[in-house]
Amino acid sequence: MIQCHNTHNKPIPPLEGQSGFEDKCRVLCNTLFPPVNTAPRSPLPPDLLTHLKDICHYTRPVTIHQTHLEIAHLKYSASVGPDDISYTTLRHFNKVAPLLLPHLFTACLTWSVHPPEWKTANCVVIPKPSKRSYSHPRS
């Protein structure tokens, strides 16, 4: 049961043309939690697949437990990479929707499709007092 508590004197403006309390709640709920699309999806386009060998028979689904363990071992003080997703965001996301990341990782492994942002890293050279030049890889 939804109850309306008027804790201030100013009227709340309408949301998407709705002015009733229950109607506003419905609009807000539908906006924050849209219905899940369960319609069957078409297969991935062939040009999206990057692996030459079909490895879907060699992969196992990533479990919720595996995902939880990996996220628990992340270094939360690390800076974000090219995808702009912090480890703290991943931790909170996994807490709210624990089934989503295992499905995403399983799909990536099954179809051999990985976002380009996951294949790169931001590297920062930390100068050391004994090094004169950083122009060579051994430096």
Task: Please choose, from the candidates 136, 54, 66, 48, the residue with its C-alpha nearest in 3D space to the C-alpha of residue 103.
Answer: 66
Structure confidence at residue 65 (pLDDT): 94
On whether residue 4 sits in a domain, the answer given is no
Kindly report the pTM of this predicted structure: 0.51
Q: Residue type for 130, please?
A: S
Cα angle 23, 25, 27 (rounded to 5 degrees) comes to 70
Number of other CB atoms surrounding residue 19 within 10 Å = 11
User: Which pLDDT value is given to residue 32?
Assistant: 74
| pLDDT per residue of the chain (139 residues) written in tens, 0 to 9 | 566 665 556 666 788 888 888 888 888 777 777 776 677 767 766 666 555 566 667 778 999 999 999 999 988 787 787 777 888 888 998 999 999 999 999 888 887 778 777 877 777 777 777 777 767 666 6
| Domain range enclosing 90 | 46-119
Residue 131 domain flag: no
Count of structural domains, the chain: 1
Residue 30 in any domain: the answer is no
Q: What is the pLDDT of residue 33?
A: 74
In a domain? residue 12: no
